Amino acid sequence: MTARVRVEFAWPAHNAVRVGDETYFCLERDGVVHVLASRCPHRGGPLHLGRVEGGRLRCPWHGNAFRLDRLCERGVPAVRTGDRITAYVPAAPEPEDLPIPVRQMVLAQEEPVDVGV
C-alpha cells in the first residue's frame, strides 16, 4: 500500500501541489475537482502544462492526447469543500519533502478558472 500524506489548500488560488519531484495538479471537470499526477503515461511529460481539446488532454512534450475521463479515474483521493481542497498524495521518499501547495501553475483546464486576482 502506498503511504500518503494529507494536503489542504485554497482552490482556485492554488491549483497544484509539489511533493518532492512530483507535481499533482487540479483539473475541474463537470464541477468536480480532480487532483492528478502531472506525469504523462507516455514518457512522463508535464501534463499540467498540456492543452484540453475535445475531452482529451494533449501532452506538451510529444503531442499525445489522453481521455480526460480516464485520467480523472487515476486521480488521487480528494474532496472539495467550498474553496478548500483536501487531497491525499503519495508521500515523497525523503521525509523533508512535505507537500507544498503551488499558486496557479496549471494551464490544462477545460474552462479558464477565475482566481479573482
Where do contacts with ligand FES occur on this chain (CB under 6 A)? 40, 42-45, 59, 61-62, 64
Shortest spacing between CB 63 and ligand FES, in angstroms:
6
Shortest spacing between CB 3 and ligand FES, in angstroms:
26
Structure-block grid coordinates of residue 61:
512534450
> Which of 61, 88 has the CB closer to ligand FES?
61
Shortest spacing between CB 67 and ligand FES, in angstroms:
14
> Which of 49, 91 has the CB closer to ligand FES?
49
29 neighbors 57 (Cβ within 8 angstroms): no
Find, among 15, 9, 8, 7, the residue nearest to 115 by Cα.
Answer: 15
> Which of 7, 106 has the CB closer to ligand FES?
106
Shortest spacing between CB 35 and ligand FES, in angstroms:
19
> Which of 47, 87 has the CB closer to ligand FES?
47
85 neighbors 2 (Cβ within 8 angstroms): no
